[in-house]
Chains A and B, each alone.
Chain A
Amino acid sequence: MDITVEVKDITSGVEVWVKGEIDAYTAPKLSETLYPLSKREGIVMIVDLTEVSYMDSTGLGVFVGLFKSVRAHNGVFTLVGLSERLQRLFDITGLADIIDIKSHAEGGVE
């Protein structure tokens, strides 16, 4: 019931790997790690959720916040590696139409 957030610099921005469960307890850690990065002008932020085993609305809230911040700084925010469960969460909340979500096949983080 914990989370790890691994950030790797790439030329145009950052690749992020999130592992574990995202809930009200762990979301602040995710937010604290990524929010400052989202304010870099023109940043490309790719977040890989392959190893996220659980997520609820607190996680959605963090990603909406990051997406807004990255966009406000003329960057690009992309989520990759969503399980069927996670994809469903983004679908039923309507976020899948707003945030850029890519499967691995479409060129996610390797």
Chain B
Amino acid sequence: MSQAYEYIEMKIPAKPDFIGVIRLTLSGIASRMGFTYDEIEDLKIATSEACTNAVQHAYKEQDYGQVKISFGLYEDRLEVMVSDSGKSCNFDEVRQGLGPYKNGHEVEFLREGGLGLYLIETLMDEVKIHQHEGVTVFMTKFVDGEQVEMDAKVLST
């Protein structure tokens, strides 16, 4: 079943300098779709994390590649796709180091990275990662929490 949607696509140089620009664009799109302030902040973090991954992992050797960010605007949800066409990193390996910090970890063993993918999975409703000639992160957030998260706050009107 296909649903009507509007489509927006942007390409940025694979440099951290432009991730803020994507956040601004995303804010505009998400607020006109009716997402709440908190949902927009979640979307901003998740999308920035995906862009940061793309910029940092995919273009270690070859500078100035591009990262493509696509937005699919549906009635009930926003789909964000972030893809690089550079070298793919081993996401299974990355996943091994995922998850929140546990109290009791020795201070010197605390990881300083690797939280990005964990945050994406925590803040979005659906996340898929494709690995084929590069990495594509495909994530969805529903308007009005159609798929309510466990910790979602109930708003009374």
Contacts and interface: CB of A to CB of B under 8 A. Distances in A.
Contacts of A24: 16, 19, 48, 51-52, 55-56
Contacts of B45: 56, 89
A93 B107 contact: no
A35 B147 CA distance: 42
Interface string A53-89: 0101110111011011001100000000000010001
Contacts of A36: none
Contacts of B55: 24
Nearest to A71: B107
B41 A85 contact: yes
Chain B contact residues, majority secondary structure: helix
A110 B115 CA distance: 31
A1 interface: yes
A24 B112 CA distance: 13
B122 interface: yes
Contacts of B103: 94, 97-98
B111 interface: yes
Nearest to A31: B112
A93 B108 contact: no
A7 interface: no
Nearest to A55: B45
B19 A98 contact: no
A105 B21 CA distance: 35
A17 to B, nearest CB: 20
A57 B110 contact: no
Nearest to A65: B112
18 contacts: A21-B20, A23-B19, A23-B20, A24-B52, A24-B55, A25-B20, A56-B116, A57-B52, A57-B116, A58-B52, A60-B115, A61-B112, A64-B111, A67-B107, A68-B108, A85-B38, A93-B115, A93-B119
